[in-house]
Amino acid sequence: MTAPVTSDLVWKEIEKRSFAVLSYVNPKGQARSSGIVYVPIDRVLYVRVAKDSWKAKHIRRNPHVALNVTIAKRVPFMPWIDIPDATIAFSGTARVLSMTEVEPKLLEELLGRMIDHRNDDENCLIEIRPTGHFATYGVGVSLLDMRDPEKARGRTPVG
């Protein structure tokens, strides 16, 4: 029996958070990953990066990415009990956008929700659209059920 997850439940969890690990492939076909801070708007994730960053260069060449959002789990008043983080993993299609390519209203909202509010020529945005299914672990289940992989695993369409 798998976890009773729905795409709405997973999106609510993604929207509560701002950190994920983004994975992509370099031109030599080697896997790379790095931590990102994202802003979710209308089921699309946005990340600001430097135009000349490796993330932007590699994604321009290959738009296929994967993300893993972690969700810290703790037992209230007993932080010494080790509970694995819950996770949401998914694939997506990314594209690199210059700041001028983004609709002004959307750009204003994005910059207002980012830690650093700069909109300068050195930055660009990566727009990530999830595709396929979300694979989850520990989402929508009790802490006790997280100990049982059969109960803790879930899968649902991106929606």
Pairing assessment for the beta strands 86-98 and 64-71 based on DSSP bridges: antiparallel
Q: What pLDDT, on the 0 to 100 scale, is given for residue 108?
A: 84
* Residue 108 belongs to a domain: yes
- Strand ranges inside the chain, DSSP E: 19-25, 31-37, 39-41, 44-50, 64-71, 86-98, 123-137, 153-157
* Residue 23 belongs to a domain: yes
* Residue 114 belongs to a domain: yes
* Residue 2 belongs to a domain: no
* Residue 97 belongs to domain with CATH number: 2.30.110.10
CA 6 to chain CA centroid, nearest Å: 17
DSSP of 57-92: HHHHH--EEEEEEEE----TT-TTS--PPEEEEEEE
- Tokens standing for 29? 């076909």
pLDDT per residue as tens digits for the range 19-73: 999 999 998 999 999 999 999 999 999 999 999 999 999 999 999 999 999 999 8
* Residue 1 belongs to a domain: no
Q: What pLDDT, on the 0 to 100 scale, is given for residue 3?
A: 66
pLDDT per residue as tens digits for the range 4-28: 899 999 999 999 999 999 999 998 9
Distance CA 69, CA 129 (A): 14
Q: What is the domain count for the chain?
A: 1
- pTM of the full structure: 0.90
CB 17 within 8 A of CB 139: no
State the burial class of residue 57 (Cβ atoms within 10 Å of its Cβ: 0-12, 13-18, 19+). middle
Distance CA 60, CA 150 (A): 38
Q: What pLDDT, on the 0 to 100 scale, is given for residue 118?
A: 62
State the burial class of residue 136 (Cβ atoms within 10 Å of its Cβ: 0-12, 13-18, 19+). buried
What is the span of the domain harbouring residue 50?
7-157
* Residue 50 belongs to a domain: yes
Q: What pLDDT, on the 0 to 100 scale, is given for residue 83?
A: 80
pLDDT per residue as tens digits for the range 89-121: 999 999 999 988 988 888 888 878 776 666 677
